[in-house]
């Protein structure tokens, strides 16, 4: 496809671009949205599903193969599909319409030109495999892929599914939320949030906006519910025999991101719509808080603006729900300061505890750390001493960092061992009643989470400091959490700071990933 594009010669940032192909107004008969307009191209006297108005987005037929580039849909009269799944063009109509509406939502709402923000459209691939009960986004081919459905679903080309999956691409090109632990749940929630917003923005009379996910593609008889997920009451979905989480729990990150996404979905629904019964898009909704509070919402457009700002500015690849709380508070201060208190109230309503940010006090100023150089292991083992059961590494076969590239792994061997990691130089604890040791810790384990087997302790002068500095396999969440340990008992003293991990001999491993250690006046 021929294009004209302008970029900033200094920064390389995209400024503007357009296709030199002729844009033609077509018409499509879709499965789920009735008769819809399509932006197509005319090539050699025939029409093709290539949208010059939206970065050259294309729609291709995979002919029920398990991959490949596919063939761009072509047509003689620029009227596509017949509204029935038996016509191969029909699913393509929904896919092209979904791609257009997703592009339009991000462009018109946030000024984002395409998934990468560079003005280039993506490819939509329909008729993937046989009886394929899924749809997915793939960064590798920069393409959106739809199955024709099978036991649980009809063809998965509905508008909210399209917006959901392509929003995975937006997340990948912004915060980059990893797909496990709580970051994975936030990744899925982000896609549900913006897939829902795409559906609302389309103003489609046959598929009006609501907070049910996949309601047009679900086969209730086999799936068990008339939706895949519900943002107002996440636990009502029972796909795979389990409901999503309504409320945050300290160890839920070890579960499937499709279930842990429920907390983010519930937060967004309550922030936008508030508590109590409502009919939205002709469907019943009823948001209930986890702490029995009742309140009004701030509106979905404002809620979406806050989430987008948080995603693109403040969240990182390892953000968990407490980090998301911080990020959305900071984002609310940027885009909707009068609604900041509502953001805090709503996180309370889904049981996510406070982090370092608040509407009243801003981001906590901890003061300068006295710990010395290399508290986040970015210079390897410099400043630290360790025994053989500690790895200070950037090799992600052992785990991931919270920030930067390097981290420390204690234990994770599935056999009896003790890991010792200490600062090489002694430090003087700030002489304040609020002196605090902070660090980021990720716990992963195969132990029974109901019983303590493997332990992790903060050490001062070679001795565990007690309950405030004690963790175990029972904290397994596959997610970094920032912990604060009071150090006032040692204020003004010169001490040796360290960490100890102990695994038992039962062959079920527990690993403790440590990063970003600080010792500050508050």
Residues 6+ apart with CB under 8 A from 111: none
Q: What is the largest distance, in Å, between two alpha-carbon atoms of the chain? A: 83
Q: Measured between alpha carbons, how far is 315 from 329 in angstroms, rounded to an integer?
A: 11
Angle among Cα 155, 267, 133 to the nearest 5 degrees reads: 15
Its sign, for the CA torsion 362, 368, 371, 372, is: positive
Q: Measured between alpha carbons, how far is 339 from 299 in angstroms, rounded to an integer?
A: 10
Q: Which residues pair with residue 26 across a beta bridge?
A: 38
Structure tokens at 244: 């999503």
Q: Measured between alpha carbons, how far is 145 from 134 in angstroms, rounded to an integer?
A: 9
Nearest-Å Rg of the Cα atoms of the chain is 25
Q: Measured between alpha carbons, how far is 427 from 461 in angstroms, rounded to an integer?
A: 11
Structure tokens at 348: 């309370």
Half-sphere exposure at residue 392, Cβ-oriented, CA atoms within 13 angstroms: 19
- First-last CA distance in the chain: 58
Q: Determine which one of 127, 164, 233, 258 is catalytic.
A: 258
Residues 6+ apart with CB under 8 A from 44: none
Q: Determine which one of 29, 165, 182, 266 is catalytic.
A: 165
Give 193: exposed, middle or buried? Use CB within 10 Å, 0-12, 13-18, 19+.
buried
13 is annotated as an active-site residue: no
The residue among 163, 59, 174, 161 whose CA lies nearest residue 116 is: 174
8 A C-beta contact, residue 215 and residue 283 = yes
258 is annotated as an active-site residue: yes
Q: What is the 3-state secondary structure (H, E, C) of 13-37?
A: CEEEEEECCCEEEEEEECCCCCEEE
Q: Measured between alpha carbons, how far is 165 from 500 in angstroms, rounded to an integer?
A: 42
Give catalytic residues, as residue numbers: 165, 258
């Amino acid at each position: 496809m021929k294009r004209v594009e302008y970029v900033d010669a200094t920064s390389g940032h995209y400024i503007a671009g357009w296709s030199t192909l002729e844009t033609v107004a077509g018409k499509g008969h879709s499965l789920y949205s009735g008769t819809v307009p399509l932006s197509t191209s005319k090539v050699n006297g025939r029409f093709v599903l290539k949208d010059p108005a939206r970065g050259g987005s294309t729609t291709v037929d995979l002919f029920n193969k398990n991959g490949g580039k596919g063939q761009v849909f072509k047509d003689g009269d620029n009227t596509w599909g017949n509204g029935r799944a038996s016509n191969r063009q029909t699913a393509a109509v929904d896919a092209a319409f979904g791609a257009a509406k997703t592009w339009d939502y991000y462009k018109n709402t946030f000024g984002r030109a395409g998934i990468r923000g560079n003005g280039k459209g993506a490819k939509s691939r329909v008729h993937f495999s046989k009886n394929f009960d899924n749809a997915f986004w793939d960064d590798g081919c920069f393409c959106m892929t739809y199955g024709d459905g099978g036991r649980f679903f009809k063809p998965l080309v509905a508008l909210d599914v399209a917006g959901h999956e392509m929003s995975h691409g937006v997340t990948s090109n912004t915060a980059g939320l990893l797909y496990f632990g709580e970051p994975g749940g936030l990744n899925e929630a982000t896609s549900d949030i913006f897939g829902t917003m795409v559906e609302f923005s389309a103003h489609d009379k046959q598929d009006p906006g609501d907070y049910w996910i996949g309601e047009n593609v679900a086969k209730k008889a086999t799936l068990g519910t008339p939706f895949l997920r519900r943002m107002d009451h996440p636990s009502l979905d029972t796909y795979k025999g389990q409901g999503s989480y309504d409320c945050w729990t300290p160890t839920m990150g070890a579960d499937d991101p499709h279930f842990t996404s429920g907390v983010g979905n519930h937060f967004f629904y309550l922030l936008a719509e508030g508590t109590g019964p409502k009919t939205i898009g002709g469907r019943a909704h009823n948001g209930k808080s986890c702490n029995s509070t009742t309140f009004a919402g701030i509106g979905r457009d404002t809620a979406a603006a806050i989430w987008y700002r948080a995603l693109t500015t403040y969240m990182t690849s390892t953000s968990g729900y407490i980090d998301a709380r911080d990020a959305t508070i900071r984002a609310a201060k940027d885009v909707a300061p009068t609604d900041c208190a509502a953001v805090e109230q709503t996180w309370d309503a889904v049981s996510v505890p406070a982090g370092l940010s608040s509407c009243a006090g801003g981001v906590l100023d901890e003061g300068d750390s006295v710990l010395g150089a290399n508290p986040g292991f970015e210079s390897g083992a410099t400043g630290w001493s360790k025994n053989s059961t500690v790895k200070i590494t950037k090799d992600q076969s052992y785990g991931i960092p919270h920030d930067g590239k390097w981290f420390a792994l204690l234990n994770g061997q599935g056999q009896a061992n003790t890991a010792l990691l200490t600062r090489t130089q002694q430090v003087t604890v700030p002489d304040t009643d609020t002196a605090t040791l902070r660090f980021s810790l990720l716990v992963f384990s195969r132990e029974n989470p109901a019983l303590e087997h493997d332990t992790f302790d903060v050490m001062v002068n070679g001795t565990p400091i007690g309950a405030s500095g004690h963790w175990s396999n029972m904290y397994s969440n596959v997610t970094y959490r920032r912990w604060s340990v009071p150090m006032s008992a040692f204020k003004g003293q010169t001490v040796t700071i360290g960490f100890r991990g102990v695994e038992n001999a039962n062959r079920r491993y527990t690993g403790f990933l440590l990063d970003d250690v600080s010792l500050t006046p508050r």
